[in-house]
């Protein structure tokens, strides 16, 4: 609304607030640079509103007590921003589809993920809080199953791989019983290969390997020992597990909590976005071109000046004329051959030139 008397300001526009989950990254849509990591719960102003103009009272002087012109305000900031969610979880469950990640999350935490015997039952990451003992707990994420080619976008692709980025620890579940007809060691290597292709740093993240579905093997321990020897030779901790019967789940969570206690906090990304300076330009950068007796004068500096002038008011027009003269625009036009009576076109404004 317009400003009121006694130098009062006009009414501010209503702010637009967008609620996002914690862990959301604000990225510049053009460059991908991080503007803000919304992990702390604090508000962030992504685009400031415009600046109000000056009413006629601002231009009052002892000799001009009632000015008949004012200056309009300036528009607010305008950004195109991409919102990307990277979950805030201490540990992430990774592995092929249907290896028992959701079942494990349901038995060790208060989460209730969908559980079924088919691939991609889990379409979205699930979070649960694991309480190990008094004062010891951590957030565990069930990440949708990874398949070969995920780093190139196969399956759910980056839709789930990016959610592991902040996890300090990975719990790698392997179907040691081979119930899907796959080899457990090949499964283990395939998942690590996808992690490495997506992010070498992520592939080096601390990892615990859990051989799940041990109950399906009965007394046959050969597959378990074979996988144990393979992963322990590569420096990983190994645990036997049956998520369906909860056997081994408590020991696995206790080991995970122990590792997490020695690891640094969840990653909070630092902004790397540089706000570009507004293109205001200078009077020297104003272009002057003549075409069939019409002089076209354009430039960012001039566009900003035109936007600040009320051309329906005589004093405003005189102000505009002085700014052009003081900036040397008229002198440059005269050097280029402008003559009295020629038409001057400045965006939507046209007038006859008179020296």
Strand pairing class (207-212; 91-94): unpaired
Residue 329 has pLDDT above 70, yes or no: yes
Residue-wise pLDDT tens digits, 203-212:
899 999 999 9
- The residue-averaged pLDDT of 128-157 equals 73
The span from the CA of 77 to the CA of 99, in Å, is 48
Asked if residue 178 has pLDDT above 70, the reply is yes
pLDDT at 267 over 90: no
The reported pLDDT for the residue numbered 105 is 92
pLDDT above 60: residue 110: yes
Task: Report the percentage of the chain scoring pLDDT > 90.
Answer: 35
Task: Flag whether pLDDT at 318 surpasses 70.
Answer: yes
How high does pLDDT run on average in the chain?
Answer: 83
Q: Cα separation of 139 and 169, whole Å?
A: 11
Does the pLDDT at position 156 exceed 90?
no
Spell out the residues 6+ positions from residue 17 whose beta carbon is closer than 8 angstroms to its own.
Answer: 43
Query: Which pTM was predicted?
Result: 0.63
> Comparing C-alpha atoms, which of 266, 257, 217 is closest to residue 237?
257
Q: Using 50, 70 and 90 to split pLDDT, how confident is the model at 189?
A: very high
Res 265 pLDDT > 90: no
* Residue 339, token pair as written in the block: 């003559």
Q: Give the pLDDT band (50/70/90) at residue 123.
A: low
Do 214 and 224 meet the contact criterion of CB atoms below 8 Å apart? yes
Average pLDDT over residues 250-279: 86
Beta strands in the chain (DSSP E): 24-28, 34-38, 81-85, 91-94, 126-133, 136-142, 169-175, 207-212, 237-240, 287-291, 294-298, 343-346, 349-352
Instruction: Determine how β-strand 24-28 pairs with β-strand 81-85.
Output: antiparallel
H helices present in 233-344, as ranges = 249-260, 300-307, 314-326, 329-335
Tell me the average pLDDT across 253-277. Answer: 87
The conformation of residue 51, written as its DSSP 8-state character, comes to B
pLDDT at 255 over 50: yes
């Amino acid at each position: 609304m317009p400003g009121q008397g006694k130098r009062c300001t006009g009414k501010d526009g209503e702010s637009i607030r967008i609620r996002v989950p914690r862990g959301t990254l604000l990225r510049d849509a053009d460059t991908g640079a991080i503007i803000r990591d919304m992990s702390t719960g604090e508000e962030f102003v992504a685009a400031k509103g415009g600046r109000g103009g000056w009413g006629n009272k601002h231009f009052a002087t002892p000799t001009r007590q009632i000015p008949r012109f004012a200056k309009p305000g300036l528009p607010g900031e305008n950004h195109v921003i991409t919102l990307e969610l990277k979950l805030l979880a201490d540990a992430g469950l990774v592995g092929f589809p249907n290896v028992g990640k959701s079942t494990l999350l349901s038995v060790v935490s208060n989460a209730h993920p969908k559980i079924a015997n088919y691939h991609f039952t889990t379409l979205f990451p699930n979070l649960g809080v694991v309480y190990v003992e008094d004062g010891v707990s951590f957030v565990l994420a069930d990440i949708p199953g990874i398949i070969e080619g995920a780093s190139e976008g196969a399956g759910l692709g980056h839709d789930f791989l990016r959610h592991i980025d902040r996890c300090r620890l990975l719990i790698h579940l392997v179907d040691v019983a081979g119930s899907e007809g796959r080899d457990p060691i090949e499964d283990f290597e395939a998942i690590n290969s996808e992690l490495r292709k997506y992010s070498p740093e992520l592939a080096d993240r601390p990892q615990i390997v859990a051989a799940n579905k041990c109950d399906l093997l009965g007394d046959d321990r050969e597959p378990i020992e074979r996988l144990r020897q393979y992963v322990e030779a590569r420096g990983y901790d190994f645990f036997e597990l049956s998520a369906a019967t909860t056997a081994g789940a408590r020991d696995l969570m206790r080991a995970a909590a122990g590792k997490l206690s020695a690891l640094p906090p969840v990653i909070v990304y630092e902004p790397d976005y540089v706000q570009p300076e507004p293109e205001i330009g200078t009077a020297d950068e104003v272009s002057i071109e003549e075409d069939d007796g019409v002089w076209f004068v354009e430039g960012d500096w001039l566009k900003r000046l035109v936007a600040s002038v009320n051309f329906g008011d005589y004093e405003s027009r005189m102000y505009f004329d002085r700014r052009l003269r003081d900036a040397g625009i008229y002198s440059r036009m005269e050097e280029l051959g402008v003559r009295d009576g020629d038409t001057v076109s400045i965006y939507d404004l046209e007038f006859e030139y008179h020296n």
